[in-house]
Amino acid sequence: MRSWRWSVSRVMRVLLRWLRLCPRRGRRKRSSRIQDLWNYGRLLLKSLYFNVLTSSDTALDCVFEPIYWLVDNMTRWFGVVFVSLVIALTSSVVIIVYLCVLPVIFSSYPVHWILWHLCYGHWNLLMIVFHYYKATTTCPGFPPQEKSDKPTVTICKKCIVPKPARAHHCSICSRCILKMDHHCPWLNNCVGHFNHRYFFSFCLFMSMGCIYCSISAKDMFLDAYNAIESSYQTPAPVFTHQQRMVHKSLVYLWVLTSSVAVALGALTLWHAALITRGQTSVERHINRKETQRLRLKGKAFRNPYHHGTINNWKIFFGVEKQSDWLTRVLLPSSHLPRGDGLTWDCSTYRNNTMAI
């Protein structure tokens, strides 16, 4: 028969074991609950951004999304400032030409050169003003928001509306643009199907005008620059306040027009090359990636909207007959572009866009 001491020790042993196990059981339950909450939180977080197409590029876009948002909104608000700047700079050049350059031309040039400068200068100015006004005020074209029978390529992920071929979403305008080329802050408008011709014509005639001014005022600029430099000599030549203002204005005119001629001329040549190939700025990047993808498969990519060099320019300018080169290209014209921007004639290369 076991003694009472053994019974007491047995009870104490069981009690101590129970006291040791109770906190452990509580911690296990608590840690298990925390682990479940942690796993659920991770699953919930992944459900917000996980996609089977997620890649490093997608992650990088997400990281830079606040910067994109800031740039888009700054561009939208500063568009008015850029337009005002274009108007102010162009007006200053015109005023200097009328006050400083034309008097010299009238007093020292032959009659035929005077007529040339008057005719060409005013024609160029008219084309610049007309095309800039049309480029800034003409709607680039939007896809229809309601249900339509027009064929579409895909659904815009931001607008959630059918997106026709060559249409792309502009994050600054917050809408899809027909045949979108880019959003131009200097126009405060998107360049699309209905104002692409106005934009390119403005760039072309503005470049021509800046080249014309820089060449015509080159001798006047050299004389004005030498006069300004001579003012630092001892003794300094005596110039009136009006003469000093004319010298500074001529230097300002030549530096501004020469700089714009180089920068805008390069942009104009770039867009001319795109028009020659029958593509926009956005399509150029898409077609380049598509060309690389098909090259790996031993195939060649052909732009379905490329109809030949001459035909591309005719389609772009809306030229249908020979006289249209004069009335629609060399003179101000508000004619609409060919097509509605929703459907495109690409039957020429439809059967061999991926020819081996």
Question: For residues 134 and 136, what is the distance between their CA atoms, to the nearest angstrom?
Answer: 6
| Cβ neighbourhood burial of 183 (10 Å; 0-12, 13-18, 19+) | buried
- Please identify which of the residues 176, 184, 210, 213 carries the catalytic annotation: 184
Question: For residues 128 and 150, what is the distance between their CA atoms, to the nearest angstrom?
Answer: 36
Question: For residues 235 and 237, what is the distance between their CA atoms, to the nearest angstrom?
Answer: 7
Residue 343: other Cβ atoms inside 10 A:
13
The reply to whether 176 belongs to the active site is no
Q: Tell me the three state secondary structure of residue 354.
A: coil
Question: CA quadruple 303, 304, 305, 306: dihedral positive or negative?
Answer: positive
CA 354 to chain centre: 29
Pair 185, 75: CB distance under 8 Å? yes
DSSP string covering 104-158:
HHHHHS-HHHHHHHHHHHHHHHHHHHHHHHHHHHS------SS--SS--SEE-TT
CA 130 to chain centre: 22
By annotation, the residues acting in catalysis are 184
